C-alpha cells in the first residue's frame, strides 16, 4: 500500500511525498531525536556532577566558615587573656609604686 501525503511550505509549490520519502524524513527525525536525547542525558550528567561539586563546595565553604568562627573565638579569648594580664601587670606596678617596702628583697 502506497501512502501519498502532501507537504506544503508557505510560498512553495505543494510537494507530494511517497512512503520512501516519509520514511527517510522519519529516519532523519529519529536520528535527530536520538542526538537530542544523548545531549540531554549528557547535560543531566554534567548538571549532576556540577551539583555534587556545588555540595562539596558548599561543604568546604561551611568548613572554612566554621574554622573562621573558631579562630575568631580563639582570638577573642586571647585578647581577653592579654587584657586581663596587662591589667594585672599594671596593678602590680601600681602596688610596687605604692608599697615599695613589700616588694624589696
pTM over 0.75: no
Tell which wins on pLDDT, 90 or 100: 90
Q: What is the pLDDT of residue 11?
A: 64
The better pLDDT of the pair 1, 23 is held by: 23
Interval 1-24 mean pLDDT: 64
Domain boundaries, the chain: 5-98
Cα 66 to chain centroid distance, Å, stands at: 17
Q: What would the grid cell of residue 21 be?
A: 520519502
The DSSP call for residue 12 is: S
With CA atoms as reference, report the closest residue to 18 among 8, 28, 7, 10.
7
Summarised one tens digit per residue, pLDDT across range 24-48 is 888 888 888 888 888 888 888 888 8
> How many percent of the chain have pLDDT more than 70?
81
Write down the mean pLDDT value for the chain.
Answer: 81
* Residue, of 95 and 18, whose pLDDT is higher: 95
Amino acid at each position: 500500500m502506497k501512502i501519498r501525503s502532501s507537504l506544503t511550505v508557505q510560498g512553495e509549490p505543494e510537494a507530494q511525498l511517497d512512503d520512501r520519502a516519509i520514511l527517510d524524513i522519519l529516519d532523519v527525525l529519529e536520528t535527530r531525536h536520538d542526538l537530542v536525547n544523548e545531549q540531554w542525558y549528557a547535560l543531566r550528567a554534567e548538571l549532576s556532577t556540577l551539583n555534587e561539586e556545588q555540595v562539596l563546595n558548599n561543604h568546604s565553604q561551611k568548613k572554612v566558615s566554621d574554622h573562621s568562627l573558631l579562630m575568631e573565638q580563639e582570638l577573642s579569648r586571647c585578647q581577653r587573656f592579654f587584657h586581663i594580664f596587662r591589667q594585672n601587670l599594671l596593678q602590680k606596678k601600681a602596688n610596687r609604686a605604692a608599697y615599695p617596702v613589700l616588694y624589696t628583697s
